Homo-oligomer: A and B are copies of this chain.
Amino acid sequence: MASNVNETNDVTLTKPIRCIVKLGGAAITCKNELEKINEENLEIVSSQLRQTMISSENVVSLDWSKRPGNSDISCNVDSFGDQLSFDANKFIVVHGAGSFGHFQASKSGVHKGGLDQPFVKAGFVATRISVTTLNLEIVRALAREGIPSIGMPPFSCGWSTSGRNIASADLPAVSKAIESGFIPVLHGDAVFDDIQGCTILSGDVIIRHLAEHLKPEYVVFLTDVFGVYDRPPTEPDAVLLKEIAVSEDGSWSVIKPTLQDMNKQVEIIVAAHDTTGGMVTKISEAAMIAKLGIDVYIVKAATSHSLRALSGEVRGNVPDDWLGTVIRRISR
C-alpha cells in the first residue's frame, strides 16, 4: 500500500522512535456512556506514559489552562528551574474514539462517504467536533503529567484516503514535532476521501501507517482486556493468547499457549463475536506491523502489565507473569 501513497517521505529522525502507543477507545472512555472519559484510567495511563517517556521524577504540569470548576490557572514557573530538559524517549500516541465520535459517525454514515448529502456533511462536522474534544482532553491529561503533548488531528494534519485506503499523510510534520521534542497525539478522525468524498480513518490504520514509515522499536495497544483471547473474554473458558507469530506472508498462528489447531479455531471464534471489526481489525493491523519486524504488545491499560509493556521490559523473552498478547514476526 505504501507505494501508491502520495506524500513526501523525507522523514529524517536523529534517533529512532521508541514506541507508538495506541490508547484504545474502550480503555480511556466509558463504553456505555456517550462522550464520557474514563478519567481514572486516563490518569493512570498518562502517569505510566510519563514514567516510560521521561526519566525525571519531577512532575511539572504543562497544562496551564483552567479546568472545569476551577477559576485558576496554575503555572509554577519555579518548577522549571530544575527541569533541565524534557529529553524524552520518542513516543507517538494515537487514540481511538470510544464513546466519542462513534454516535455521530454511525448515525450519519460518514464512513460510507457522500459529502454532497447534507446529513453526511452534518455528520462530518459533528464527528470532528466530538473526536477533537476527546483529543484535546487527552492532550491535556498528558500535559498535566508533564508530557509535552501536541494534538495532531489527522484531518488537519494532511491525512486523507482514496477508496478508504490512506492516500496522503503529512509524516514530515509528525517527525518535525518529534524532533522538536514533542509527543504527537493523533486519533481516529473523519477525513476526506478522493473517491467517496469522506470516510472514517481509524486509529489502528493510522498506527500501521506510522509504524510502516517511522519504524518504531515496538508498538503497544492499550485495551480494556488483558489481550487477545480465543473467544469473547467474558466467557468463562476464554484463553488468553500470549504469543502470536506472524509469518512472511502475513498469516499468523498462536505460539503460546500451544493448543492443537488453535489458529483456525481462534480465527473463526474471533470473527463470530466481532461485529464492529474491532478485534479482527486489530489482529490483522497488528500482524501487518509485526510483519515489518516490529513487536506488538496488546495489553490491558492502567495495569502493571501495561507499564511493563510500555517500558519495553517485556521485549525479548516475555516473562511468565506478564499478562498480555505479543505479536511478532517468526524469526526463521
Contact = CB atoms under 8 A, between A and B. Distances in A.
Contacts of A153: 151, 153, 156
Nearest to A35: B66
A115 B140 CA distance: 19
A158 B136 contact: no
A221 interface: no
A177 to B, nearest CB: 8
Interface string A279-294: 0000000000000000
* Residue among A85, A136, A156, A157 having the largest count of chain B Cβ atoms under 10 Å: A156
Contacts of A103: 64, 73, 75
A104 interface: yes
Contact of A121 (B104, B116, B130, B148): B148
A259 interface: no
A121 B158 contact: no
A280 to B, nearest CB: 28
B150 A128 contact: yes
Given A73-B34, A119-B80, A151-B156, A133 B136 contact: yes
A64 B149 contact: no
A62 B121 CA distance: 9
Interface in A61-89: 62-66, 68, 73, 75, 77, 80, 83-86
A111 to B, nearest CB: 16
A181 B115 contact: yes
Interface in A131-177: 132-133, 136, 139-140, 143, 148-153, 155-158, 170, 173, 176
A257 B181 CA distance: 53
Contacts of A136: 129, 132-133, 136
Contacts of A132: 132, 136, 139, 151
A218 interface: no
A85 B115 CA distance: 10
A122 B156 contact: no
Contacts of A84: 118
B148 A156 contact: no
Contacts of A170: 158
A62 B180 contact: no
A210 interface: no
Most buried by B among A84, A173, A197: A173
A267 to B, nearest CB: 36
Central interface residue in A119, A129, A181, by most chain B CB within 10 Å: A129
A60 interface: yes
A132 B181 CA distance: 20
10 contacts: A35-B66, A62-B125, A63-B129, A64-B129, A80-B118, A86-B118, A129-B136, A133-B136, A156-B173, A157-B157
Given A68-B68, A129-B143, A156-B156, 6 more contacts: A65-B130, A85-B118, A121-B181, A125-B143, A125-B182, A132-B132
